[in-house]
Amino acid sequence: MDEKRTVKTSKRLSRILRHDPASVGITLDEAGWVRVDALLAALARHGGGLSRAELEIVVGTNNKRRFAFSDDGLSIRASQGHSVAVDLGLTATVPPPVLYHGTATRSLDAIFREGLRPMSRRDVHLSADTETAVRVGSRHGRPVVLSVDATAMAAAGHEFRLSANGVWLTDAVAPQYLARPAGAGG
């Protein structure tokens, strides 16, 4: 499986397993899982045939670890990023003191007025390192990294959960917990 096909397949699986399982006629369980055999059969019916070995390559080589197999290897789900209602079963976890959010500079005014909201997703996504935040922000335009005072948020009762692929999730981040980086516009 070449890299181009792997990336294309990963993006398609993200859309299906995070946002639109009905597009290929599958249903996710309450925790976001679908049986691998059901997924592969659905993909074959919808013009995107994939073997189990190819699926394992997509899951195993995805640098963002977007997908996870169940312990028995019979089911698969997206690790986070859902717009469909699922309960990933993630428990509240004490976050590091500071987390980061990558965005585009054109979004700064709205963010500092309204805070970070999940938008079309179910959670706000935060990272533990600035490098990841820069990559995320780059997808939306000229990137800027915002610091999130996770310690203050947790002390105020906000809950954080850590996904299987290392993304920190929270319901929202109010403007008072955000720091504008030096030299950022907006």
pLDDT at 1: 81
The sign of the dihedral angle between the CA atoms of 13, 18, 20, 24 is positive
pLDDT at 24: 96
Convert the pLDDT of each residue in 11-31 to its tens digit: 999 999 999 999 999 999 999
153-170: average pLDDT: 94
Confidence of residue 185 (pLDDT cuts 50, 70, 90): very low
Q: Please list the residues that pair with 161 across neighbouring strands.
A: 92, 169
pTM across the whole model = 0.78
Is the separation of the CB atoms in 76 and 59 below 8 Å? Answer: yes
Domains along the chain with CATH numbers = 3-78 (1.10.10.970), 98-179 (3.20.170.30)
* Residue 122 C-beta-side C-alpha neighbours within 13 Å: 15
pLDDT at 181: 60
DSSP string, 129-141: SHHHHHHHHHTTS
115-143: average pLDDT: 90
Q: Please list the residues that pair with 181 across neighbouring strands.
A: none
Convert the pLDDT of each residue in 26-65 to its tens digit: 999 999 999 999 999 999 999 878 999 999 999 999 777 8
pLDDT at 182: 57
Structure tokens at 88: 């990933």
Report residue 146 CA to chain centroid gap: 17
What value does the mean pLDDT of the chain take?
Answer: 91
Convert the pLDDT of each residue in 48-107 to its tens digit: 789 999 999 999 997 778 899 999 999 999 998 888 989 999 999 999 999 999 998 888
* Planar angle of CA 75, 76, 81, nearest 5 degrees: 150
Predicted confidence (pLDDT) at residue 183 exceeds the cutoff of 60 = no
Listed in sequence order, the residues at least 6 apart from 104 whose beta carbon sits closer than 8 Å to its beta carbon are 137, 140, 141, 142, 143, 144
Structure tokens at 26: 């599958």
116-120: average pLDDT: 89
Q: How many beta carbons lie within 10 A of that of residue 39, not counting itself?
A: 23
User: Does an H or E element contain 98, and which?
Assistant: strand 98-104
Is the separation of the CB atoms in 76 and 33 below 8 Å? Answer: yes
